[in-house]
Amino acid sequence: MPRPKSEFEEIFPCDFYEPADLLASDAMYTVYEIARLLQGLEPDAELERDTEDILLDWAIPWIMVNADELVVAEPRSDDEPGHYGLAETTSD
């Protein structure tokens, strides 16, 4: 059920990182690492499972919206997630 804005103490702009501002050009990241980076955490920060699930709710749409600027690599094994990185840009 929607709630009135007046119920919230603070409301912030919904600004998201651009891929090039978040990811190193020479690295590949799992969705879990991207989720942490989007929150200003280190990619290997320890999180409780419930917290990680909430962060994934932000990371998955971010990856989809920015798909044109990203590349994906298949998992190296069946028990590992895929990895995402910045697509190479070319100069004209």
Q: How does pLDDT run across 73-91, given as a tens digit for each residue?
A: 988 898 998 899 999 864 4
C-alpha 20/C-alpha 32 separation (Å) is 18
| pTM given for the model | 0.81
Q: What is the mean pLDDT of the chain?
A: 91
Q: Domain residue spans in the chain? A: 25-86
Per-residue pLDDT tens digits for 29-50: 999 999 999 999 999 999 999 9
pLDDT at 14 over 90: no
The DSSP secondary structure of the chain, one letter per residue, reads ----GGG-S---------HHHHS-TT--B-HHHHHHHHTT--TT----HHHHHHHHHHHHHHHHHTGGGEEEE--SSTTS--EEEEPPP---
